[in-house]
Structure 1
């Protein structure tokens, strides 16, 4: 029961930002972890190159950029005396970009994919780029990947989405840099993993792997509202923790077995399974009753507190352990009966037919 409470508390949905406790803790952990890396390599940035100092000192990632680089935006930044490490005037897109709409950038960018992001998100961080699925298509064509440059000011602020680049070149540049500077890849991968972790339990959530390769951004957003990668991770983690607790209880109880007891080891094992089975049923039943009563009272969000992982484990044990206990009891009963009818227990006399 403590497992259910703790898991639900750690996976509680909170708005992104500084008020998010998990995000704040993860960013603090990221800062401590990345401080161990050296700020090696060139300090000044250029297209397809993010300096090591940028990677390890800033919490943000380029594929979180939502504002485009326009003439008006550039003029406004120049008025604020912003500077850049290279000339960005030729990186203003000739046409308006239609990569995504506002907050649904999570469902258009591959950096926010929990699996594909390990490749594309890490590469984006190393190269100051953003990779999107421009033409996600389900029964309407082949999804097209596009990569745009993201330009930062010299102090690594004000990220702006600039002209189109090349996805192949981005991956090539990231691969070549990994060979020359493996620390940049490791730091970027750590940053990628922590960034996905900060977005897991926010209102928008994180899409299930590969969703935007076969569905439109709108469809992915709707799907994520019903089931997200955070939900899958929560179910899997809860189930594994339940299995671990069951294993610990079973091991401790079996260690208490005394051969001098008038009980076979197999029968004692059946008792162990009963203890674990009843414990799981009590914990799962309590959770189902709590969630059901809260939903009945009008709190529809209580369904997210349902311990699905523990419920799966309980059902599995109901099926497997019940059969095991029945078989052990059957062997015990019929085994004892067989000994009786063999004669030693009943003290039967031999009958002569002569």
Structure 2
């Protein structure tokens, strides 16, 4: 049992190699035997010549001089058609060696050591040609690391920390007069826009398009929910209702407006009765809600645009209030986490601000990498730096290491201050991306380099082999 594991194709190669090795040994033995026979024949001929020359001299005849020219048979060319296909060789080898073959069966200890030494030589040569422990590359590494570190420090001072919560002084109360006036103005604009469409009262008890835009948001209702075992937590009800979700609200909130329903973050739904005041009446389901949306829109197409418009107006009226809108989608996965964030005054606008900060962190990090990479490329000298691809490996090493050092410094800073809001999330993401892509690139370049060096070793042998074929 060898020390290595082999694939099926590798086993085929080993078996073919073993078979050809044995064939070569047989050929060598045959040549040696022919050579011995030839040497024996030559001795006999030489002895015969001596006796013949002696007889001729006794008879007074001068023997002819020896010919020193040797006949050299011209090298025979082999037709490539005579070469068996790989499948034929593999089938023959598999039939001859049904058991597995290991490299140890083919190579001697000395040959193994030669291979190991050769691989080490090539690896050392690659490391030497792609190493950055020189004055130029180390200077670039220091500058790149300094720029990346300065970047996250400056962005923090300009944009602030991540995770900033709602500033109550800059937000409006949910019932502020300016909000109500804007909602009324928007609704009247829509009504006037489609005044010619007419009221279109429903024959199936659905809300008309005017009722949709002028009615209050059904998912703002909390009255009656305790009777159904639902705790909407009063003023914090927004994180529990999908109509208030900045993303999912466009689907579920619109449907709720059209059908007078409320869908919660666990996707359970309830009908909202309007008389005498809006309140939870009975459970329903999403299938029924979406069918009613379809059926109502089929009766009057304007009800769907009216529902979307009403949803847009309501979300706009809520987004800048003191409680804002919850972080999108999170409530459907973890209502408790969504609730904790929302109650701690972290809403969708806070998330957007954080996304903008992370985006700036990442974009500036990428820009610095581009500039450093470009300038380092300008300093390329083919005479001293060798192959351009190997020089690019050095460039990527500089970028990868500088990003990693800057990110490590940021993480250490955040840990030391015990303030994880100071994390350079965008820069760390860029670092992780570079680690993945740059290591892949360097691995690919190393593989190509090794293959190229191995090809150089085999080039002479391949050229000699090719000379035997027509």
> What TM-score does the superposition give when structure 2 sets the normalisation length?
0.42
Give the whole-Å Cα distance in 2 for the aligned partners of 1:248 and 1:277.
14
Is 1:105 aligned with 2:257? no
Say which SS state the counterpart of residue 210 (structure 1) adopts: helix
Q: 1:260 to 1:187 in 2, by over 3 A?
A: same
Gapped regions of structure 1 (runs ≥ 5) = 69-92, 137-142, 153-158, 296-301, 344-354
Higher relative contact order structure (alpha carbons within 8 Å, sequence separation ≥ 6): 2
Per-residue CA shift, 1:55-83, capped at 9, x if unaligned? 4x99x8442333x2xxxxxxxxxxxxxxx
Say which SS state the counterpart of residue 124 (structure 1) adopts: helix
The reply to whether residue 269 of structure 1 matches residue 392 of structure 2 is yes
Q: Render the CA deviation track for 1:201-232: whole Å, top value 9, x for unaligned.
A: 969655625337xxxx6686359889x99699
Structure 2 CA distance for partners of 1:146 and 1:65, relative to 1, 3 Å = closer
d(CA) in 2 for partners of 1:203 and 1:339?
66
Matched ranges for 1:1-354 at <5 A? 1=151, 5=156, 12-14=164-166, 19=171, 38=193, 40=195, 49=207, 51=209, 55=213, 61-66=217-222, 68=223, 96=227, 98-99=229-230, 100-113=232-245, 116-132=248-264, 144-149=268-273, 160-164=278-282, 166-167=284-285, 168-178=287-297, 180-181=301-302, 182-188=304-310, 190=312, 205=327, 208=330, 210-211=332-333, 221=339, 253=373, 261-262=381-382, 264-281=387-404, 283-295=406-418, 302-308=419-425, 310-322=427-439, 324-325=441-442, 328=445
What secondary structure does 1:314 align onto? helix
Residue pair 1:151, 1:162 contacting (<8 A) in 2 also: no
1:342 is displaced (CA, Å) by 8.9
Give 1:14 deviation, angstroms.
Answer: 1.0
| Cα deviation digits, residues 320-340 of structure 1 (max 9, x gap) | 424533664686699689879
Shift of 1:122: 2.0
RMSD: 5.8
- Given that 1:110 and 1:120 are in contact with CA atoms closer than 8 Å, whether structure 2 keeps it comes out as yes
Secondary structure in 2 aligned to 1:311? helix
Larger Rg: 2
SS in 2 for 1:12: coil
**8 Å contact from structure 2 (residues 221, 280) kept in 1:** no
Deviation at 1:147, TM superposition (A): 2.9
CA contact (8 A) 1:131 1:147 kept: no
Q: Pick the structure with more helix per residue.
A: 2
Structure 2, unpaired ranges of 5+: 1-150, 461-470
Equivalent residues of 2:326, 2:342 under 8 A apart: yes
- CA distance in structure 1 between the partners assigned to 2:280 and 2:445 by the alignment: 70
Q: Tell me, in whole angstroms, the C-alpha distance in 2 between the residues paired with 1:283 and 1:15.
A: 31
Partner Cα distance (1:303, 1:282) in 2 = 18
Conserved 8 A contact 1:205-1:225: no
Displacement, 1:314? 1.8
With over 3 angstroms needed to count, the CA separation of the structure-2 counterparts of 1:42 and 1:221, relative to structure 1, is: farther
1:298 corresponds in structure 2 to: none
Distance 1:10 1:309, change over 3 A: closer
The CA distance in 1 between the partners of 2:251 and 2:423, in whole Å, is 33
Report the Cα distance in structure 1 between the residues aligned to 2:455 and 2:225, rounded to whole angstroms: 90
How many Å separate the matches in 2 of 1:36 and 1:255? 57
TM-score by length of 1: 0.52
Give CA-to-partner distance per residue, 1:168-212, whole Å, 9 cap, x none.
55433433455502532543564577689769x969655625337
Q: Work out the number of aligned pairs and report it.
A: 284
